[in-house]
Every structure is written in structure tokens, then in C-alpha cells.
Structure 1
Amino acid sequence: MDVDDAKKRFSRASWANVLGNAIKIVVEGAAGVTFGSVALVADAAHSVADLVASVVVLVWGSSSYDNPDDSHPHGHERIEPLTALFVGAVIVLLGLNLLYESTQGIIEGGTGVRFSYLLLGALAFALVDMYLVYWYTMRQNESLGSTALAALAADCLNDLYTTVAAIIGVLGVLIGYPILDSIAGGLVSLLVVYQGVDIGRENLDYLVGAAPTGAKRDEIRERIKSHPGVEGLHDLTVFYDGTVLEVEVHVEVDGEMTIREAHDLESELVDSLRAVKEVGDAHIHLDPSGLGEWKEAVEGDSL
């Protein structure tokens, strides 16, 4: 995909989240304040932080598509997981706040709320609003694979869950059990916290240069070994640089190769590794086979 097109898709998805959350805040907040519904006010407050996260993604996230420059010679890929990490932290804080509010509601017995069908109407609107934003974000992200947009989409799902909890609470008021509002909110808040922690943990790995799964490392090793000119390999290192993988490896080849033959072999290996899903770049050092220099016993792999 063209970089400009990718940046436009990212921007459109980010704007959809900004506008969707802003509209949800106005509708739910107005209804919640008017009828004293803690559930709706809490859900609207949840969306305020979601709005902040969406704006951050809109401003920061698109920078990941910028070309390398003098100040960032390796590109801007790490901006995206940094943005997603921020979203994850916001989700955790929202979940903890919702848990606190729910606990307070249980202690107080859910008093102070007046039932109105306008409450249900506002919640139904919020459900449709967030589902459309979620669907649009996921559709735009199919070809982008953005962790920041994935985090926003996950937050849209959290909004759906919290809105369902608010509906249960409002229905509880209707049938004379307002405490259901607080109980349902407490259960959903735990799910929100879990989702935020999961997003944060994944993107922290991207930022600190963690290694991929053993299966991905094995796939890369086998890809190198499958080349007919490779006689062995050692010192294989695979790590995340932002959301893409970097590969560093010493490859053992016939020491009698000409420089041009060695250059062509190296180019073929780099192109082959870049074709592996998630791999962004590969750095290969060619060694004459049999020397064994810098070779670690646990990494050595002769063919």
C-alpha cells in the first residue's frame, strides 16, 4: 500500500473515533445528568478519556508513517506502540475509576436515579455509535495492521460492554432494583482493566525490543537455511523495533565465493527474510564456513 494512502486511512479511522466519542459524550452526558443516572454519567466520563486517547492517536500515530530523517534515521515506527501504550494506560485508569464508582453505588444501594425511556434511548444510540466506529476502525486497519488503531478498536468494544452494563442498570431502576446498575458496572470494569493491561503489555514489548515467539524465530532460521548457498548460521538475533522485527545473523558460506557472488547471495537472503510476515529489515554478515569466529555453541547451526 502507498504510504500516503496508508496515512489517509489511519487519519480517517482516528477521526472516526474522535467524532464518535464526542457525540456519545454529549448524548449520554446530557441524559445522565438530567435523570441522575450514575451509569450514564460514568459511561460518558469513560468516553471523555477515550476522546483524549483518540486525539493522541490522531496526532501522534500518523507520525509512524513518516520517512526516516536526520533526527530519526531508523524511521518513526516506535511512535505507534508508544501511542497504543498510552491508550492502554488510559483504559486501565478508566476501568479502575469505573470499579470505584460501581463500588460506591453498591454501598449506597443505587439511590438517586430516576427512570426515563430517554435513558434507554441514549444508551441505544451509544451502542450503535460505538459499534459503527469499531466496525469502521477495524475495516480501515485490515490493510494497515496498526497497533494504535487496534487499541482504539478494543476500546470501542469496551464501550459496548460498559453501555450494556448501563442498560442493565437502567432496567434495574425500572423494575425496582437500582443496585443492578452498580453490580453490572463493577463486573464490566474488571474486563476493561484486563483489556488495558493486555494492550499495554503487548506494546511495551514492542518498545523495549523484546524477542518474538520461538515459532517465529524458527521460521526465520529455516528460511535462511533453505537457501542453497548457505552452509551454516550462528549468532541469530531477532527482536522488535517498534511493531516490526529486525533480524541480525552471521551466515556461513563458501569461502571461495567472489565478492559479487557473495553480494548477490546476501541480497537474496535479505529479500527472502523481508518477505516473512512482521520482518521489517535484515542485517546479514557473511562468514567463510569453517572459521567458527564469534560462534556461540548454542547458536551454531551447520547444514
Structure 2
Amino acid sequence: MSEAVDRRRFARAAWVNVLGNAAKIVVEGIAGLAFGSVALLADAAHSVGDLVASVVVLVWGDTRFQDPDDTHPHGHARIEPLTALFVGATIVVLGGSLLLESAQGLLEGESATFSYVLLGALTFAMVLMYATYRYTERVNATIDSTALAALAADCRNDIYTTIAAFVGIFGLMIGYEPLDPIAGGLVSFLVVYQGVSIARENVGYLAGAAAPADHRAEITDRLREHPAVEGVHDLVVYYDGTVLEVEAHVEVDGGLTLREAHEIETDLVERVRALEAVGDTHIHLDPSGMGEWKDATDGGWTAEESPHPGRS
């Protein structure tokens, strides 16, 4: 699938989240104000933050598709985890706010009037958020955007908070009002946990965390598959945004001409860049058997990467 198609699908998914959250706020806000339901107003307030987050993804997240330029020579990959980090932080703040409101409602009590309109508004909100969640997940299955993944998680959290609101409205229906703040408090913990998880993952992307071992092994194998490669060392693989940056020293025959060495280097770079998780690759060719400073204990080959296990 082309980048242009992915870009359009990303924008549509972001717009679906914006419009979905806006519709939920209007419906729940009107019903909550009309019948004095704190549960609906809290759920609508939660969606205000979701709306802000989805607008941020719509405006910022699209930059992941922009080509490198003079100000961002490695592209704009880091803007996406920054956007997702904002979404995660928003979820944490709103989850904490929901927890506080639940505690206040439990301690102070609340007065609201039961109406089937409240149940209708909640049913609408739940169906809407589930549809938005499923659509966002389906789009992101091929795009693999951390920002869209964060929005999808936010939609899923909305379903949970709406279920809690259902419990609260049921409490109003049977005359047991404390059900509302109790259910809201339990769900708020899940909301906060999800937000923290999203934030932690994307902090790793922004901080340039090391790649998982399976990615590192795959890259090493891809380099060593080339018939001209005699060894791989000083391999560094780390995240630059949501994609991997690769740096490696590769040993080849020292008698190669400059043109031959250049062709090998180009082939190796293309081989590694072809991996889905890799963004950019930098290869340095070393003459085999030279015993450079890279052979030192603190920066040399690992046992599995060395072409000469017995060499120091």
C-alpha cells in the first residue's frame, strides 16, 4: 500500500475520532444537564479530553508521512510518539479527574432524576465508541501508527467509562445512588493504567531506546547473508521515533577496489532498509583482520557476531 493511501487513511481515522468524540459530548452533555446525572456529565467531560487528543493527532500525526528536509534530515518520525505521549498524558489526567469526581460523589452524595433518555444516551455513546474503536484498529493494522493506537485505546477506555455510567444510572433507577461513584472509581484506575502504559512506551521511542533482541538478530542475519561479508561488529540499533536507526561495522576483503566496496555497502544498506521496522541505515566497511580499536573488550564483537570466535 502506497504512502499516499496510508496518509489518507490516517487522516480519515483521525477525523472519525474527532467527530465521534464531538457527537458523544453533545449527546451525553445535553442528557446529563437535563436530568442532573453526574455519571453522564463525567463521561462527557472525559470525552472533551479525548476530543482534544484526537485533534492533536489529526494536526500533528500527519507529519509522520512528510519527507526529510533541511530542518529534519532524518524525517519526522519522532512527532508521532510525541503525539501519542500527549494522548497518554491526557488519559492519565482525565482518569485522575474521574477518580476524584467518583470520590466526591461517594462522600457528598448526588441528586439526579432517572430517565430512560439517560440510558438511550449511554447506549448511543457505547455503540459510537465501539464503532470508532473498531474502525481505528482496522486502519491501524496496516499503518502501525502509535498515535492511532493511542486513540484506539482511548476509545476502548471510553467504552469502559460508559459501562460504569450505565451502572450508575442503574443505581438511580433502583434508588441506590452510591453505585454511580463506586463504578466510576473502579474504571478510573483502568483509565489511568492505560494512559501510563501508552506514555511509557512512547517515552522509549523518544529517548532512543535500544531495539528488541529479535530485531537486532534479524538485522545481523540480513548483513551476514551477503556473500562478501566476513564479519559484523559494533552493531547499534535504536529507535528514532517509531522506526529503527541502524549503525554497523561490516568486515569485507581488504583487497577490494573502492568501487567494489561502494557497491557492497550500497547493497547492504538496501538490504537492511528493506526490513519493515528499519528507517535508516549507516554501514561502515572495515578490512577483515585489521584488529582495529573496535576489537577492544568494551566495544568489540559479541560471541554470536564474531566471525573469528577465538580472536581477541
2:71 counterpart of 1:71:
yes
Q: 1:302: which partner in 2? A: 306
Q: What secondary structure, in the 3-state scheme, does the structure 1 residue paired with 2:239 have?
A: strand
Distance 1:294 1:265 in 2: 23
Deviation at 1:246, TM superposition (A): 0.5
Distance 1:275 1:73 in 2: 19
Q: What secondary structure, in the 3-state scheme, does the structure 1 residue paired with 2:72 have?
A: coil
Q: 2:235: which partner in 1? A: 236
Q: What secondary structure, in the 3-state scheme, does the structure 1 residue paired with 2:144 have?
A: coil
- Within a 5 Å distance, the mapping from 1:202-221 to structure 2 comes to 202-221=201-220
Distance 2:83 2:210 in 1: 20
Deviation at 1:222, TM superposition (A): 2.5
Q: What secondary structure, in the 3-state scheme, does the structure 2 residue paired with 1:48 have?
A: helix
2:175 counterpart of 1:171:
no
Deviation at 1:265, TM superposition (A): 1.8
Q: What secondary structure, in the 3-state scheme, does the structure 1 residue paired with 2:250 have?
A: strand
Q: 2:198: which partner in 1? A: 199
- Structure 1 residues 106-129: Cα deviation after superposition (integer angstroms, max 9, x where no partner): 1124x3121111100000000111
Distance 2:63 2:144 in 1: 15
2:111 counterpart of 1:112:
yes
Runs of 4+ with deviation above 6 angstroms: none
2:38 counterpart of 1:34:
no
Does structure 2 conserve the Cα–Cα contact (< 8 Å) formed by 1:130 and 1:160?
A: yes
| Number of residue pairs the alignment of both structures matches | 302
Q: 1:55: which partner in 2? A: 55
- Structure 1 residues 245-283: Cα deviation after superposition (integer angstroms, max 9, x where no partner): 010011111111122322222222212212323111210
- Structure 1 residues 140-182: Cα deviation after superposition (integer angstroms, max 9, x where no partner): 2122111111100100000000000100111111122211111
2:290 counterpart of 1:291:
yes
Identity of aligned residues (%): 65
Distance 1:73 1:230 in 2: 29
- TM-score, normalising length from structure 1? 0.96
- TM-score, normalising length from structure 2? 0.93
Deviation at 1:183, TM superposition (A): 0.9
Aligned CA RMSD, in angstroms, stands at 1.3
Q: 2:7: which partner in 1? A: 7
Q: 1:155: which partner in 2? A: 154
Does structure 2 conserve the Cα–Cα contact (< 8 Å) formed by 1:133 and 1:156?
A: yes
Residue type of the partner of 1:144? Answer: I
- Structure 1 residues 13-51: Cα deviation after superposition (integer angstroms, max 9, x where no partner): 111011000000000011111111111000000000100
Closer, same or farther in 2 for the Cα pair 1:226/1:299, shift >3 Å?
Answer: farther
Distance 1:76 1:4 in 2: 16
